[in-house]
Amino acid sequence: MRQKIKKFWEFSKYFYQTASISQIIWVSFTIAAVVSMGFAGVLLYAKISANTEELILRNSIQLVNQVSLNLETSVRNMMRISNSMYYCTIKNADLQEESLDWDMNLLYEANRDSLVSIACFDADGNVVTGMPVSTLKEGVDPASQSWFQKANDKIENLHFSTPHVQNLFLEDSSRYSWVISLSRTVELTRAGETSRGILLVDMDYSGIEQLFEKVNTGGSGYTYLIDGSGEIIYHPRQRAIYANLNTENNLVAAEYEDGNHRENFQGEERSVTVKTVGYTGWKIVHVVPTEEFYLNLNQMRLFVLFIVLFTILCMGLLNIFISGRIATPIKRLEAAVREMEEGTGELELCEEGSQEIRHLGRTIYSMVRQRQKLMEEIVVEQEEKRKSELDALQSQINPHFLYNTLDSIVWMIEGEQYKEAISMVTALSRLFRISISKGKTIITIREEAEHARNYMNIQKVRYKNRFTFEMHMEPGILQYSTIKLVIQPLLENAIYYGMESMDGDGVIRVCGYEEGEDIWIDVLDNGPGMTPEEVENLLVDGKHEHKKGSGVGLVNVHQRIRLYFGERYGLKIDSEPDVGTRVRIHLPKSFAKEDKRP
Amino acid sequence: MTNKNKAAVAVIGGILVVLSVLAYFYVDLAKVNRERVNVSVVVYGSTAERWTAFRQGAEQAASDLDATVNFVTMEENDREEQERLMSGELENGAQGLAVALADTRAQAAEYVTATSGAVPMVLVESEIYGNASLSCVAANAYEMGKELARQALEDAPEDASIHMVWMGENRQSQKDRMAGFKDACREAGRQVQESLYPNQEAMRQVLKGDGTYVLAAIDDLTLETAVNVIGGKQENISLYGIGSSAQIVYALDQGLVKGIVFQNEFNMGYEAVDILVQKIRKGGAEEPMEIDFHHATGETLHEPEHERLLYPIIQ
């Protein structure tokens, strides 16, 4: 179990970490709705079921009480008749002198709706008087009948029989009556002598039947009547029970105290309400099969389930809309921020969603704008700085070079070498033109190579062909860009440090070629070369001194290339004493970007 | 709204619609709807009084089984009239018939045999001669006849002339009862005369002699006729019979009839309608249902179990 809870917890955490905001809102709201509605549904069902059961039981008690009241009224009426007959007539009459007929007839006529007969018998069962007839059927012995014997056995009590067909008096037709006999012992006086007699009041059973029929029409359950020993007096299915088509739990019900009981009869759960009728010991039994109110409860359960499901689904639907309304602006904002981070989009001002989200959008928008502005300012500033540095580096052209070149031109003119002078001035002019490059920092390799060639033309004149110069550039690389003045300073160094001691056998070569995405331009000379220590210090700023030349040294070129193209580019130097030096310019394959001076 | 959300809305919307439809029909679904069945009971005999207990049983079954029962008695008590009544009941919408045939000879019962193929039908008290395919609810007629003989012979003087009387109706149950009666007499070594009395006058002519008679009436009608013919208690005539009509019970109570054998009419009515309704609802044939029978004398008539069967409480 703990494992499962832990697993569930982990899953929840994972879900909350990976799900979108709309999913989290929807799931959270829906879980809350399901739990609350489920809880409400269970409570509602429990309350309704308790109320239903209570209501049914209360109705049962009410019904039984009502029936009991009506039945007691009938019973009391019968007892009143019996009492009247006994105490007002029989007890005061001497049968030797007077008859009971008149009084009995009066009483019978007054109650004939509920009476079948009323009769008085002596101790041997002979009729003293009887209404409406007093002639006994042939062969009938009242003394052998149970109502007579019971009254005789317990003389203080009134006795109520179970329903039976009256079988005492001669009838002139096939009409018969089901009766309930109320019998009691009475004291008969004859010529001053008292003797025991039995007074019988036969109550019409149909009165009881009608009373119970009224409460057994429809509704839940049914009501029946038993005597103290469980014998059925009335049952709505009495004939079926008599015909053994039905059975009833009457013998067990006779043992029940008044109140509600639960019983299981023939596999059926039933709620039984019992009420004892006064004077008689009869019991009214109201039976409700629990299936009947469970059927109602089942319907109610289904109904509650419908409502709960309906509400949950409606809330689920609502949650989708609400989560969408909340999350969509946030998601759009997040997407815009992400695009902006990736540099693929522009942040737009968020004008949807709730007031908080709009405020958040405006704030982020404002922050991003400010950041962009700052970035642009930084970029411009950096660019300015870079250009300033380049300018500063490029401006380090040795004035001696200019002075010497002009001096050479003067010397050529004086020596009437006009053609050479023109050539030199032209070369110098080109040199300066490329140096200036309309203010551009970046030129093509073609231009840089031409610049280097012009420079070498000038220097070859000056150094009277003390060395030879070769340049071989692969045509494919000429279109790519480089910062200007990268080859010329290397050539200058090669001349000053490599060729001074040469006497016509010096060689300076420039080779340009490509390797993958890189361009290499090698400047080689066969001068005296350098030791590894010297090479090591060569590209470290401030660790060497330049003796002569333009002043734009190796460090200058190296720093400019790295400043512009990045740290992986720049110069590489291979040198060996007495063999020569190779300086390699490493550039990327790139095309010139707009680079105007302000 | 994303596509995922649109799909979720569509699914939830669909479920809501289904739930709404279910809720709309919920009341009907929750009800235990058992279709009410209309059945008719057509019985022989010109009075309904003979069938009081039977009718109560039929109505009790109808009430228990959500059925409506229409009870029909005849005026002339002949085959044609009964066929007319059955046909009329079917035309009036009866979905099944329980029939106590006036005449159970095969030829006479052709209508019933033919109709039973199309309409669920249950025979009451008597089968059709030689055709046991139709469900029949009846007591064991042969045993009833034997029981009647045992009663009649119990106190019959040696010189008494034993007459088994009937009024010439043609029902299988009468034949079986007579067979049982005769067999029981033969087993007891007593001669029995089978006497057909088509009317009261014929019966009166026979009984006006001075001899001692033991009369055993085979059915209600014959027993009631015999009671009417005899009129009052006669020392030389002991009357027994099969039947339980109010007139017969009254005669038994008065001592005019010495003993009766009677079938449990309430059960017969109940079972007949029960089987019929089951046939209508579920189809198929039912096994013949045997009903219990009892015997009573003037002394035992008011025993509670006899009172309950012979004096119907009108519920």
Q: Report ipTM for this prediction.
A: 0.79
Chain A hits for B11, CB-CB cut-off 8 Å, are none
Report the candidate in A388, A161, A139, A69 with the shortest Cα–Cα distance to residue B301. Answer: A139
Which CATH code fits B37-139+264-292?
Answer: 3.40.50.2300
In this prediction, residue A593 has a pLDDT band, given cuts at 50, 70 and 90, of: low
- Give the pLDDT confidence score for residue A551 in this predicted structure: 42
Measured between CB atoms, which of A164, A206, A320 is closest to B5?
Answer: A320
Tell me if A139 and B255 make a contact (CB, 8 A cut-off). yes
- CATH superfamily, domain at A396-588: Histidine kinase-like ATPase, C-terminal domain (3.30.565.10)
Alpha carbon A118 to its chain centroid, in Å, reads 81
Which residue bears the tokens 């009214």?
A284
Whole-angstrom distance, CA of residue A507 vs CA of residue B202? 171
Torsion angles phi and psi, residue A189, rounded to 5? -115, 125
Percent pLDDT > 70 in chain B is 92
Tell me if B16 and A239 make a contact (CB, 8 A cut-off). no
Averaged pLDDT for residues B180-192: 92
Which one is predicted more confidently, A503 or A105? A105
Tell me if A245 and B311 make a contact (CB, 8 A cut-off). no
Whole-angstrom distance, CA of residue A196 vs CA of residue A186? 6
- Give the pLDDT confidence score for residue A395 in this predicted structure: 54
Tell me if A243 and B15 make a contact (CB, 8 A cut-off). no
Cα torsion angle, B203, B206, B207, B208, sign: positive
The strand pairing partners of B238, in sequence order, are: B214
Report the candidate in A221, A229, A280 with the shortest Cα–Cα distance to residue A253. Answer: A229
Cα of A230 to nearest chain B Cα, Å: 15
Q: Which amino acid is at B264?
A: N
Residues 252-291 of A with CB under 8 A from B: none
Average per-residue pLDDT for chain A: 83
Which residue bears the tokens 């006795």?
A159
Would you kindly state where each structural domain of chain B is located, as residue ranges?
1-33, 37-139+264-292, 141-263
CA dist list (Å): A86 to A82, A103, A190, A574: 6, 11, 15, 153
- Does the pLDDT at position A40 exceed 60? yes
The verdict on whether omega for the bond into residue A132 sits within 30 degrees of 0, i.e. cis, is: yes
- Give the pLDDT confidence score for residue A213 in this predicted structure: 85
Hey, do B37-139+264-292 and B141-263 end up sharing a CATH topology, with the first three levels equal? yes
Torsion angles phi and psi, residue B307, rounded to 5? -55, -40
Whole-angstrom distance, CA of residue A255 vs CA of residue A267? 20
The strand pairing partners of A511, in sequence order, are: A472, A522
Cα torsion angle, A299, A301, A302, A307, sign: positive
In the numeric block, which tokens belong to residue A248?
Answer: 């009833």
User: For residue A135, what is the DSSP state?
Assistant: P
Averaged pLDDT for residues A501-506: 75
**Which of A11-25, A33-47, A172-186 is predicted least confidently?**
A11-25
In the numeric block, which tokens belong to residue B137?
Answer: 């609810």
CA dist list (Å): B32 to A45, A267, A299, A459, B36: 22, 21, 11, 119, 12
- Give the pLDDT confidence score for residue A89 in this predicted structure: 87
- Give the pLDDT confidence score for residue A345 in this predicted structure: 64
Q: Are A211 and A71 in contact (CB under 8 A)?
A: yes
A404 touches chain B (CB under 8 A): no
- Does the pLDDT at position B183 exceed 90? yes
In the numeric block, which tokens belong to residue A350?
Answer: 């968020």
In this prediction, residue A598 has a pLDDT band, given cuts at 50, 70 and 90, of: very low
Q: Is the entire prediction scored with pTM above 0.80?
A: no
- Does the pLDDT at position A190 exceed 60? yes
CA dist list (Å): B175 to A111, B145, B164, B244: 51, 9, 11, 19
pLDDT digits (tens, 9 = 90+) for B85-101: 888 998 888 899 998 88
Tell me if B1 and A314 make a contact (CB, 8 A cut-off). no
Q: Which residue of A has its CA nearest to B271?
A: A245
A139 touches chain B (CB under 8 A): yes
In this prediction, residue B141 has a pLDDT band, given cuts at 50, 70 and 90, of: very high
Measured between CB atoms, which of B1, B246, B267 is closest to A174?
Answer: B246
Chain A to chain B, count of Cβ pairs less than 8 Å apart? 100
Indicate the pairing of strand A506-515 with strand A518-525. antiparallel
CA dist list (Å): B254 to A146, A202, A330, B249: 21, 21, 104, 9
Q: In what order do the strands lie in the sheet with B67-72?
A: B67-72, B37-43, B96-100, B121-124, B135-139, B289-291
In this prediction, residue B22 has a pLDDT band, given cuts at 50, 70 and 90, of: confident
User: For residue A366, what is the DSSP state?
Assistant: H
CATH class of the structural domain B141-263: alpha beta
Q: Which amino acid is at B259?
A: G
Averaged pLDDT for residues A553-558: 81
In this prediction, residue A27 has a pLDDT band, given cuts at 50, 70 and 90, of: confident
pLDDT digits (tens, 9 = 90+) for B205-260: 777 777 888 889 998 888 988 888 888 777 788 899 999 988 899 999 888 999 99
Largest CA distance in chain A: 202
- Give the pLDDT confidence score for residue B24 in this predicted structure: 72
**Which of A112-116, A215-219, B134-138 is predicted least confidently?**
A215-219
Would you kindly state where each structural domain of chain A is located, as residue ranges?
21-341, 347-386, 396-588
pLDDT digits (tens, 9 = 90+) for A383-432: 777 666 666 555 555 666 778 788 888 888 888 888 888 888 888 888 77
In this prediction, residue A472 has a pLDDT band, given cuts at 50, 70 and 90, of: very high
Average per-residue pLDDT for chain B: 84
CA dist list (Å): A212 to A63, A223, A473: 11, 7, 127
**Which of A33-37, A473-477, A478-482, B192-196 is predicted least confidently?**
B192-196
Tell me if A240 and B264 make a contact (CB, 8 A cut-off). no
Whole-angstrom distance, CA of residue A337 vs CA of residue A305? 46
Indicate the pairing of strand A570-576 with strand A580-588. antiparallel
Mutate to test the interface with B, among A20, A116, A174, A235 (most CBs of B within 10 A): A174
- Give the contacts of A91 (CB within 8 A, at least 6 positions apart): A186, A187, A189
Indicate the pairing of strand B213-217 with strand B135-139. unpaired
In the numeric block, which tokens belong to residue A171?
Answer: 């009838």
